[in-house]
Amino acid sequence: MGVIGMTSFARRAERVQPSAIREFLALAGQPGITSFAGGYPDPTLFPMRELHGIYDALLTDGNASALQYTASEGLPELRALVAARLSADGMPCTADDVLITQGGQQGLDLTAKLFVDAGDVIVTERPTFLGALIAFNPCEPDYRSVPMDDEGMDTDALEQVLRTTDRVKLIYTVPDYQNPTGRTMSLARRRRLVELAQEFDVVVLEDTPYRELRYEGERLPTIKSLDTTGRVVHLGSFSKILAPGLRLGWALATPEIREKLALLKLAADTQNGTLNMRAAAAYLGGYDIEGHIAGMLPTYRHQRDLMLASLQEHFPPGITWTRANGGLFTWVTFPAGLDMAAFQRDVLIPQAGVIVVPGTPFFADRPEANHARMSFSGVPDERLVDGVRRMGRLLSQALT
């Protein structure tokens, strides 16, 4: 029947498995379903009119360069504009230091390919971004996850892991408004992380797609900006500040690392689409992206506040959740016996039409079943409140 025998696959294919999430994400768009699962940015906030004008202008006769190949590292104008924004964020750099990537996701893939051999160890936060695990898995790493609290990754626990584990190659962190917890790493922990990375000679992969979605609290320095030895690979993305469909992100790293990442990118996909890079450069050059970001924040802040207030009002005692100062997520912890995946499948979807992301796949090791990630982005107010209320009622029944 044309099915390839399993023996034909490379060993890494064993680590390429469909995620359980896909099944129920297919439900998310259906009428009558309230989804807190997606974590998509709110599409009403995309700068549609401006991008329409930009693409129109790019695709006029005589402007064929917008459809031509360009450098693997990315369109020079866009690299320069990204470098200017990173410099303003405390990471002085030039266009040459920046690699444009296919979203932040490609930065995760390329960095793992560059540093991780089978059996090497990647340290993650506990829990961590599921998509990073999907990107890292084909490199066949072992994982050690480090507990978090409201100050982010526990650096004492990290030190313990580094002291007792051989072959640690990467420490992966989402320091700002982490996916899935919404937590932010404190300044003291950022400094300690850099010290530990130096002491144990490990590369830090800093992933910051939510950094600019800040609803309260001060802006903390990036880990990259605290590093003096060039061991931090800093990733960012236009997905949450412009639009994810453009598939535009960036990596900032020392020349040696960046050149190798660019060669791996050449192997993977040659370059990002020239048209989208030209469009993003035109947007950054011709419009006020800082104003655009500032204009989005009240919407997300309101949605976050409404989610937190609704959880407080409708969830029964014994359930806790994080309070994110930015980003798109809250992380909910249920009593230890509740298996959220089973509860969602058997109760939440059939009886309430509500979807969340059960927490298990966010653990790099030793998964826990009694958590869920809930996104507050893009759910209309009434649906949000109603969905949390219905979920709360079913949880009250299940937990009594």
Residues making contact with ligand PMP (CB under 6 A): 39, 103-105, 129, 131, 174, 179, 207, 209, 237, 239, 244, 249
Residue closer to ligand PMP by CB (options 127, 141) is 127
Residue closer to ligand PMP by CB (options 129, 343) is 129
Task: Report the nearest approach of ligand PMP to the CB of residue 327 (Å).
Answer: 8
Q: How many C-beta atoms lie closer than 10 Å to residue 213's C-beta?
A: 23
Residue closer to ligand PMP by CB (options 327, 392) is 327
Task: Report the nearest approach of ligand PMP to the CB of residue 324 (Å).
Answer: 13
Task: Report the nearest approach of ligand PMP to the CB of residue 258 (Å).
Answer: 18
Tokens of 135: 């990107």
Tokens of 158: 């990290």
Task: Report the nearest approach of ligand PMP to the CB of residue 131 (Å).
Answer: 6
Which residue type does 71 have? A
Residue closer to ligand PMP by CB (options 39, 152) is 39
CA distances from 302 to 39, 163, 328, 330, 379 (A): 16, 43, 11, 14, 11
Distance CA 117, CA 114 (A): 9
Q: Which among 198, 109, 177 is positioned nearest to 375, based on CA atoms?
A: 177
Distance CA 250, CA 303 (A): 28
**What is the enclosing helix (H) or strand (E) of 223?**
helix 223-226
Task: Report the nearest approach of ligand PMP to the CB of residue 64 (Å).
Answer: 28
Distance CA 124, CA 145 (A): 5
Task: Report the nearest approach of ligand PMP to the CB of residue 104 (Å).
Answer: 3
Place of tokens 């003096």: 228
Residue closer to ligand PMP by CB (options 75, 174) is 174
Residue closer to ligand PMP by CB (options 127, 209) is 209
Residue closer to ligand PMP by CB (options 39, 378) is 39
Q: Sheet of 371-375: strands edge to edge? A: 320-321, 329-333, 371-375, 357-358
Task: Report the nearest approach of ligand PMP to the CB of residue 174 (Å).
Answer: 4
- Residue of this chain nearest to ligand PMP (CB atom): 103
